[in-house]
Structure 1
């Protein structure tokens, strides 16, 4: 697994690299946002460890730009920051980060979170067939693609992040089931999730914008008040 570390403090970047390489990961280091984006364009990694406060283009903008990139490889993003305020966590997750750690952190915990993120794709949809159909959606599990069909039989390819694809696959694989936040976290993140449960709401909102005909009045991902979310299609 290839990991890109975007961190301007050499001691922290080196600490992260040493601990991850001891666990068998391959690591690259970028010292600022511009270099980080260049490394991403040159060779998209499996996971990015991204400091929020880096020179040049800051971590939030780097995260947002990576999530806007087309392509088959959409890395997991673990955001680091010296700040601990609640608003920073919310902003970081809303730009597309998958998890969030506040400095100083334990190297052991960092490795555990990295492993938890990389295990997601092995957990979420192993029981689904290779190609899964609903009246409006088709998911190809091998190609990792999803399409939506409208009422006039027009087919649109959905540009989903890795997590959005996993989330949609989970919903489609269990139509009508009501999921609460904890269940979705367990399904997608596993037992080593350390973040804020509200990350689920952020990713649901992002997914709705991409798959709903009107995200303000969702047709497919329904909110079950006081419980969680349910997928309906047909």
Structure 2
């Protein structure tokens, strides 16, 4: 039986919610909606969606703060958060990725293109699960089957993209990857994000697991250090 994925739509424009809900349900997704950020957080906690599609400019609470709160929720640790927004400024995109967004799409929304994007996202996810394994480096244990990271007895919580970035680098120890390499392998070729997004995620991973694992090769990129 085909898995039925859950999608939460958070936008203050009822017409956009109605359009996206119609197209998503037609493709077999389970859908819930919210008209503002606060309600979106409540719905996310109850619904535990696989994907959140989130606007930035909303009443009561904007999308960036909403994303930050969702990323602090254990229920959404493995959920994708994708911004759908009219805000095309670079600083807005950086702010979105800084709080844990997985993708950033500029309105106007093309429903068919969005459906294709979600299909590709879940196809990659299924492929990753089939190739699940565990990496042990000293006290550091990275387990893709459970999406957990442990340092000794302490479990560290990483949002999905931070986890995938760490796992990819650790799976290829002592090999240097440019930002473009990492964007292609972690975010995919069908997603446009800024190169700075990699730097933001690397910084966050280092804050959580320590500075000794991922090395910056100036002017080139990053590598996972294995002595």
TM-score (norm 2): 0.89
Q: What's the counterpart of residue 58 of structure 2?
A: 54
List aligned pairs for 1:144-223, cutoff 5 A. Answer: 144-149=147-152, 155-212=153-210, 218-223=211-216
SS at match of 1:178: coil
| 1:20 is the counterpart of 2:36 | no
Matched, 1:74 2:78: yes
Helix, strand or coil at the partner of 1:117? helix
Residue number among 139, 142, 145 corresponding to 1:142 in the alignment: 145
Separation in 2, partners of 1:62, 1:25:
22
Q: CA deviation at 1:137?
A: 0.9
What TM-score, normalized to structure 1? 0.87
CA–CA separation in structure 2 for the residues paired with 1:120 and 1:197: 21
CA distance in 1 between counterparts of 2:161 and 2:40 reads 21
Residue in structure 1 matching 2:135, options 96, 113, 132: 132
* Helix, strand or coil at the partner of 1:179: coil
- Consecutive unaligned residues of structure 2, counting only runs of 5 or more, are none
Q: Distance in 2 between matches of 1:42 and 1:201?
A: 33
Asked if the contact 2:129–2:145 (Cα under 8 Å) also holds between the matched residues in 1, the reply is: no
- Quote the residue 1:152 is aligned against: none
Which residue of structure 2 lines up, in the alignment, with residue 215 of structure 1?
A: none
Residue 65 (structure 1) aligns with: 69
Runs of 4+ in structure 1 deviating by more than 6 angstroms, as ranges, are none
Q: How far 1:98 moved relative to its partner? A: 1.0
Q: CA deviation at 1:16?
A: 1.3
Look up the SS of the partner of 2:22 in the other structure.
helix
Residue 158 of structure 1: CA displacement? 0.7
Count residues in correspondence.
223
Q: Is the 8 A contact 1:20 1:27 kept in 2?
A: yes
Residue 164 of structure 2 aligns to a residue whose secondary structure is helix
Q: Distance in 2 between matches of 1:122 and 1:185?
A: 19
SS of 2:74's equivalent in the other structure is: coil
| 2:154 counterpart SS class | strand
